[in-house]
Amino acid sequence: MDARDPIDVRYVIHRYAAQVNNGYVELSREQWSELRKNTPLTLTADELEELRGVDDPIDLTEVTDIYLPLARLLNLHFTGSKQRSSVLRAFLGKSERRVPYVLGLAGSVAVGKSTTARLLHTLLARWPEHPHVELVTTDSFLYPNAVLESKKIMHRKGFPESYDRRALVRFVAAVKAGTAEVCAPVYSHLEYDIVPGAAQVVKSPDILILEGLNVLQPAPPTSLAVNDYFDFSIYVDAKVEDIRSWYVERFHKLRRTAFEDPKSYFRHIAAMSYDEATKFAVNVWRDINERNLVENIAPTRGRADLVLKKGADHSVQKVLLRQS
pLDDT of 1:
34
Residue 112 annotated as binding?
A: yes
User: 3-state class of 111 per DSSP?
Assistant: coil
Residues sharing a CB contact under 8 Å with residue 271, sequence separation 6 or more, in sequence order = none
pLDDT confidence of 20, banded at 50, 70, 90? low
Asked if residues 104 and 117 have their Cβ atoms less than 8 Å apart, the reply is no
pLDDT confidence of 19, banded at 50, 70, 90? low
Residue 110 annotated as binding?
A: yes
Q: Residues 135-174: pLDDT tens digits?
A: 999 999 999 999 999 999 999 999 999 999 999 999 999 9
Residue 295 has pLDDT above 80, yes or no: yes
Residue 311 annotated as binding?
A: no
Residue 113 annotated as binding?
A: yes
**Average pLDDT value for the chain:** 91
Q: Decide yes or no: CATH 3.90.1300.10 for domain 34-322.
A: no
Residue 158 annotated as binding?
A: no
pLDDT confidence of 84, banded at 50, 70, 90? confident
User: 3-state class of 247 per DSSP?
Assistant: helix
Residue 240 annotated as binding?
A: no
pLDDT of 276:
96
Task: At 319, give phi and psi (nearest 5°).
Answer: -125, 135
pLDDT confidence of 43, banded at 50, 70, 90? very high
Handedness of CA 84, 8, 107, 20 (dihedral sign): positive
Residues sharing a CB contact under 8 Å with residue 37, sequence separation 6 or more, in sequence order = 1, 2, 3, 5, 72
Query: Average pLDDT of 228-238?
Result: 97
Query: Average pLDDT of 97-105?
Result: 92
Angle of helix 113-124 versus helix 68-91 axis, rounded to 10:
60
Q: Residues 189-225: pLDDT tens digits?
A: 999 999 999 999 999 999 999 999 999 999 988 899 9
